[in-house]
Amino acid sequence: MKEIGLHGRGGQGIVLSGEMLANVYFYEGYEVQFMPSYGAERRGSPSNAYVRIDKVNKIYNRYAVEIPDEVVVFNMTLLENIKVKENGVALLNIGGNVKKQSTNAKIFLVDANSIALSLKLGTPAMPIINTALLGAYCKVAGDFSFDNLARVIKEKIGKNADINIEAAKLAFESVREL
Amino acid sequence: MSKKIIMGGNDAIAYAVRQSYVDVVSAYPITPQTSIIEKIADFISKGEMNARFIKVESEHSAMAAAIGASIAGSRVFTATSSQGLLLMHEVLHWASGARLPIVMANANRAVAPPWSIWAEQTDSLSQRDTGWIQFYASNAQETYDLLFLSFRLAERVKVPAMVCMDGFLVTHTKEPVEVFDNEISEFISIKEKREILDIDNPKAYGALAFPKDYMPIKLEQNDAILSASNVFNDIAKEFELISKRHYAATEVYGDSKADVAIIATGSIAEVAHIAVDNLNKDSIKAKLVKINMFRPFPKKELQEALKDVEKIVVFDRNISLGKGGIIKDEVAGSLGINNIIGFVAGLGGYDVTEQDMEKATKDVLSGKVKEDSYLWGEK
């Protein structure tokens, strides 16, 4: 089983991202479970969502994910509080560079904010970055196809799907390892 | 053709309601139930569901409106959670006492204070004496399926039914759910004939019953709820032919020759599958006995499932303050030490005399009465 953590702030589309990711893996033939973490959710407060996937077994775990195998960090101000497994994967949304963290996790960087703004997705104060980050995660994870991601974006986003798929594509192409 | 869609327990309930030819939905929002009625309101406003949505000012009113609509002959659905369910408490009795087949979804949420929005089953388990059938779903597929089964069962035995699901852990956790296309239509379109309000033939509801009338009415109601066990099995067989999914009051998973049985309901019962697998790997012969139906209580099924085990371990996501886990107590009560017999006596003010008690005690001692009984009609 792989556990994926999506970490951002309320309004960044964390919940929708998790749901989309679960759908992508479902189309890939995995057993999937999407578990949002609910608390006093509001715009700007930390928001987390978790996806569990398993190639073979039905997923019976019905409790919060403690330390994910892989994390996608939507907002760098949250970095200090995010845990990831030893030798796991962390995908960070960041424009510049980041100093090597005290972790064995492989770190990947993508500038989802700039990609979103270049396509006029959202505003400078609140760029819509979830589809870009899913595109980057598609490259980093390597266990689902971009086509299935595009299919889910079409299903879930409707009329703005094309521009979101474009964002995902740009992020897929530009994500790099630290 | 049915197809699998990723959805949570709340979505699954709303989809099932949409497919169940429901006439009236009356509800008041409360976390973590709200997304059920939001989705239903959306279906109705888009014309995808032909039902009347009654907006109310409280859960007490939600159930009161449900009762009115049900007496008038409608198929009625409502949903609530925690404090909302507690506010309904009085009217839950009115619904069951009037033998109205209302179906309700309850998102199990801890009871305040202190405020909590997270999972706990004390809310619905503390309604166990209100005369409602109670199901506990462990995952989104079960919430979907049990909703259809509840309508058929409730209408057959004329007892309202509640589908309970752990808040967030079942209501909001999204997973693949097999959703019917038209293949469920025939099953769910069956509506039983029942007494309804008829303006040309007026009747009084909620009349006063003196002790000699009250007790037989209650015992008849009790018999109706108890009969739901067998009726459920019949309806579940019908459902299985369509869905290929088997439902029963209890289900057993793991080593059939187990020494230890784990008992759980709801989301904990899902997790227990993993625990049982791991225990079996550790050479501990364990099995899970999952309770799906809590009212009527599956006494016979549990006696059968637990007859050869040495130890029973119960996990209760609920607490009866001043006593402990509610399900543990109910299971223990069903397995019974065999030197205790209970008589239900004196309902509705019916007299309980020393002669009644002497005779009952002698009947127990002589072996004439071997199991729990009623003290009634022997004066």
Which parts of chain B sit beneath pLDDT 50? Answer: 379
Q: Which of A1, A62, A63, A156 is best to mutate for the B interface (most B CBs within 10 A)?
A: A62
Q: Do B175 and A62 touch (CB under 8 A)?
A: no
In this predicted structure, what is the pLDDT of residue A141? 97
The Cβ of residue B238 has, within 10 Å, a number of other Cβ atoms equal to 14
Q: Could you tell me the CATH number of the domain that includes residue B275?
A: 3.40.50.920
The answer to whether residues B167 and B220 belong to one domain is yes
Spatial separation of the C-alpha atoms in residues B371 and B37, rounded to whole Å:
44
The Cβ of residue A37 has, within 10 Å, a number of other Cβ atoms equal to 20
Q: Contact, A62 vs B270, CB < 8 A?
A: yes
Nearest-CA distance from B6 to chain A in Å?
7
In this predicted structure, what is the pLDDT of residue A40? 60
pTM (two decimals) = 0.95
A39: pLDDT confidence band, cut at 50, 70 and 90?
Answer: low
Give the end of a domain, one of B188, B217, B243. Answer: B243
Q: Which of B4, B5, B6 is best to mutate for the A interface (most A CBs within 10 A)?
A: B6
* Average pLDDT score over residue span A140-147: 97
Question: What burial class does residue B181 get, using C-beta atoms within 10 Å of its C-beta: 0-12 exposed, 13-18 middle, 19+ buried?
Answer: exposed
* Interface residue A11 vs chain B (CB under 8 A): no
Region at A32 (left for phi over 0; alpha for psi -120 to 50; beta for the rest): beta
The answer to whether residues B9 and B110 belong to one domain is yes
Which among B139, B172, B174 is the nearest to A38, CB-wise?
Answer: B172
Tokens 């949505």 belong to B53
What are the chain B neighbours of A156 within 8 Å (beta carbons)? none
Tokens 């005779």 belong to B359
Q: Do A32 and B176 touch (CB under 8 A)?
A: yes
Q: Contact, A35 vs B173, CB < 8 A?
A: yes
DSSP letter at B90 equals H
Q: Do A38 and B32 touch (CB under 8 A)?
A: yes
Cα torsion angle, A136, A139, A144, A146, sign = positive
**Three-state DSSP class for residue B312:** strand
Phi and psi torsions of A53, nearest 5°: -130, 150
Alpha helices in chain B (DSSP H): 9-18, 34-45, 59-71, 82-87, 89-97, 122-125, 140-157, 185-189, 211-243, 266-281, 299-306, 326-335, 354-366
B169 to chain A: nearest residue by CA?
A62
Spatial separation of the C-alpha atoms in residues A89 and A108, rounded to whole Å:
8
What are the chain B neighbours of A34 within 8 Å (beta carbons)? 6, 173-175
In this predicted structure, what is the pLDDT of residue A43? 74
Which among A26, A31, A35 is the nearest to B173, CB-wise?
Answer: A35
* Average pLDDT score over residue span A140-163: 96
Give the end of a domain, one of B224, B243, B262. Answer: B243
- Domains, chain A, in order of start with CATH, read 2-177 (3.40.920.10)
In this predicted structure, what is the pLDDT of residue A41? 63
Q: Do A62 and B268 touch (CB under 8 A)?
A: yes
The answer to whether residues B186 and B310 belong to one domain is no
The answer to whether residues B32 and B157 belong to one domain is yes
What are the chain B neighbours of A151 within 8 Å (beta carbons)? none
What are the chain B neighbours of A19 within 8 Å (beta carbons)? 6, 174
What are the chain A neighbours of B175 within 8 Å (beta carbons)? 22, 32-34, 59
Omega before residue A127 within 30° of 0, cis: no
Q: Domain of B359? A: 343-375
* Average pLDDT score over residue span A134-154: 98
The Cβ of residue B375 has, within 10 Å, a number of other Cβ atoms equal to 20
Q: Do A59 and B175 touch (CB under 8 A)?
A: yes
The answer to whether residues B195 and B310 belong to one domain is no
CB pairs under 8 A between A and B: 51
Domains in chain B, number? 3
What are the chain A neighbours of B32 within 8 Å (beta carbons)? 38
Give the end of a domain, one of B228, B243, B258. Answer: B243
Task: Look at A2 and A37; give whichever has higher pLDDT.
Answer: A2
The answer to whether residues B128 and B188 belong to one domain is yes
The answer to whether residues B183 and B210 belong to one domain is yes
Q: Could you tell me the CATH number of the domain that includes residue B75?
A: 3.40.50.970
Q: Contact, B133 vs B154, CB < 8 A?
A: yes
A16 to chain B: nearest residue by CA?
B174
- Residues pairing with B175 in the sheet: B7
A97: pLDDT confidence band, cut at 50, 70 and 90?
Answer: confident
In this predicted structure, what is the pLDDT of residue B379? 42
Distance of CA A115 to CAs A126, A147, A153, B237, Å?
13, 20, 17, 55
The answer to whether residues B71 and B207 belong to one domain is yes
- % pLDDT > 70, chain A: 96
The answer to whether residues B220 and B293 belong to one domain is no
Q: Do A62 and B4 touch (CB under 8 A)?
A: no
In this predicted structure, what is the pLDDT of residue B147? 98
DSSP letter at A158 equals G
The answer to whether residues B204 and B284 belong to one domain is no
Give B186-227 as a DSSP string. Answer: HHHH---------TTS---SS----HHHHHHHHHHHHHHHHH
The answer to whether residues B166 and B275 belong to one domain is no
Spatial separation of the C-alpha atoms in residues B8 and B107, rounded to whole Å:
12
Tokens 């997705």 belong to A121
Nearest-CA distance from B42 to chain A in Å?
17
In this predicted structure, what is the pLDDT of residue B178? 98
In this predicted structure, what is the pLDDT of residue B317? 97
The answer to whether residues B148 and B279 belong to one domain is no
